[in-house]
Amino acid sequence: MNFYKFHSPQYRETPIHKVQDSGPTMRRPRVEPSILSELIEVLTPHPGGLRRWSVMRAIRENRGRTSRATSLKFEDEIERVFRSSCSNCGDVKQNPETALFYRPEGKAGEVWAVHAERAQAWKAESVPLEA
């Protein structure tokens, strides 16, 4: 068997897998309402905020109690939703008057907190009305 033929230019330049165009893809919603409501539920009783790992643990326990599935990218999903609705998190800056979450100033470590009055208003808007 000639192993050197795989190093020739014709093999290096051809793609191994052909990419199939499946047409337009659906965009995922920017913020998942269920994760957002879970974050609000966990953070509301703690006005000073909670450490990130405590938030993850609480949501994981809540999902375990309700027999809800936890994805392999559970923590990434939670953190993405938090940061997308946070007023002072890294590069993504939300409007400080409308953001649901924030990182309290002067706290060591990764501490997350919720603006309780905004969270209550968001919950009131997101509850479907029964006809």
pLDDT digits (tens, 9 = 90+) for 15-36: 454 445 444 443 333 456 688 9
Contact by Cβ (8 Å): 106, 24:
no
Domain that holds residue 100: 33-125
Is residue 113 one of the residues assigned to a domain? Answer: yes
Q: What pLDDT score was predicted for residue 38?
A: 92
- The burial class, CB within 10 Å (0-12 / 13-18 / 19+), for 53 is exposed
Q: What pLDDT score was predicted for residue 128?
A: 59
CATH number of the domain that 57 lies in? 1.10.10
Percent pLDDT > 90 in the chain is 33
Is residue 81 one of the residues assigned to a domain? Answer: yes
Q: What pLDDT score was predicted for residue 28?
A: 38
Is residue 55 one of the residues assigned to a domain? Answer: yes
Is residue 13 one of the residues assigned to a domain? Answer: no
Is residue 114 one of the residues assigned to a domain? Answer: yes
